[in-house]
Amino acid sequence: MPKWTVPLADVVVEEPELQAVIETYKSGWLSMGPRTEELEAAFCAYTGSPYAIATSSCTAALHLICLGAGLGPGDEVIVPSLTFVATVNTVAYTGATPVFADIASMEQPWPTAAEVEPLIGDKTKAIVTMAYGGHPGATAEIAALAEERGVMLLEDAAHGLGGSQAGRALGTWGRAGAYSFFSNKNLPVGEGGLLVTGDAELADRARLLRSHGMTSLSWDRHQGHAQAYDVVAMGFNYRIDEPRAAFVRERLGRLDDDVRRRAQLDVRYRDALSAIGGIEPTAPAGEGQSHAHHLFTAVLDEDRDREAFRNALSAAGIQTSVHYPPAHGFSIYAGDRSLPRTDAYASRAVTLPLFPHMTSDQLVEVVDGTAAALS
Ligand SMILES: *Cc1c(COP(=O)(O)O)cnc(C)c1O
């Protein structure tokens, strides 16, 4: 593995979260318990959502959302293709059929109501949005469409933590939303996730299925609150553990500062790249939108060779990525549906490095490297 001068993403673990983890190990209780409850309460406060359920990953949270929402065979669910494949897999886990929506444009690489509406039919039970790169995108518009057409909105907010629209947190616009604590996300712990919902029934179902469908947790039994348990559904082990819950809880306090630093870098990137031909950043946040700035994404002009561009940056020690190879192109989902804008975007998009502690020198290096590669 090359040692990057400027990695795509980077994590700095600080003293407070290390202390929280050490204290948790010293407490002697490691599996899901009081620290997970504190994390969930903190997320309710942070997002304004009535219920929060922490999980082993965002993928687990999305699966629980799909099950809690009652998705199953015969249902159609409209999903973006330009997303991480877990958005689609978790729908398919339930037996429901993912129906791919194209993106709006190269500047707005997410489906808007115009792409989603024609796909709504008798079998459509839900629409899943994904806050691409942290941008609120068309969340509000699709929420209105979903309401009007009587289908559920579910949110994959893996990129959206820290972002909002009209003051309402991404992840809380639909029936339920999921966040990721994967190591490159805005609130990284390694592996972990969390779902929020305002639907008490969905919350109960998700909590039950998170832990084997059992009616009591080992923590309850340890506390003497329960002696035995019944199993009332075929559940999973999708629990987070206490050290990670404590870590995430501690870091949540710094999330907004981190997002602010990402936002400052985003402004500087846009300013510097505007002087360089051949590359165009994707749209900034619109009116009333607060961007979570998970990624800094841009599109190369059609006549540019992306592989050569990425190789040039790589040779200069700058790591880039592509978000994403579209799901409808993977063997498992390949169908006859053509998504021309998604395909065009996926062949021209590039993600540049972005992380809260990225230095001015590092940003200048990326910009200079970009200018040299496109000159
Ligand atoms: C990272 C990610 C996920 C999955 O998150 P995990 O916590 O790794 O399971 C799902 N959807 C999107 C859009 C992601 O970026």
Matching residue, tokens 């090359």? 2
Q: Which strand ranges, in their side-by-side order, compose the sheet holding 124-130?
A: 51-55, 193-197, 176-180, 152-156, 124-130, 76-80, 97-101
Give the torsion sign (CA, 290, 295, 298, 299).
negative
Ligand 1 site, residue 43, Cβ cutoff 6 A = no
Would you give the DSSP letter of residue 102? Answer: P
123 catalytic? Reply is: no
pLDDT for the residue 224: 86
For the chain, helix, strand, coil in percent to 5 are 40, 20, 40
pLDDT for the residue 76: 98
d(Cα 315, Cα 2) in Å, to the nearest integer? 10
With a cut of 50, which residues of the chain have pLDDT below it?
A: none
83 near 339, Cβ under 8 Å? no
Ligand 1 site, residue 158, Cβ cutoff 6 A = yes
Model-level pTM? Answer: 0.97
d(Cα 182, Cα 370) in Å, to the nearest integer? 28
Please name the residue whose Cα sits nearest to atom 2 of ligand 1. Answer: 158
* CA of 181, closest atom in ligand 1: 7
Ligand 1 site, residue 319, Cβ cutoff 6 A = no
* CA of 184, closest atom in ligand 1: 1
Q: Please name which of 90, 83, 100 lies closest in space to residue 59, comparing C-alpha atoms.
A: 90
The rounded Å distance from CA 80 to ligand 1 centre is 14
Identify any residues that bridge with 31 across adjacent strands, giving them in sequence order.
241
Ligand 1 site, residue 59, Cβ cutoff 6 A = yes
Non-local (6+) Cβ contacts of 142 within 8 A are 111, 112, 113, 116, 127, 129, 153
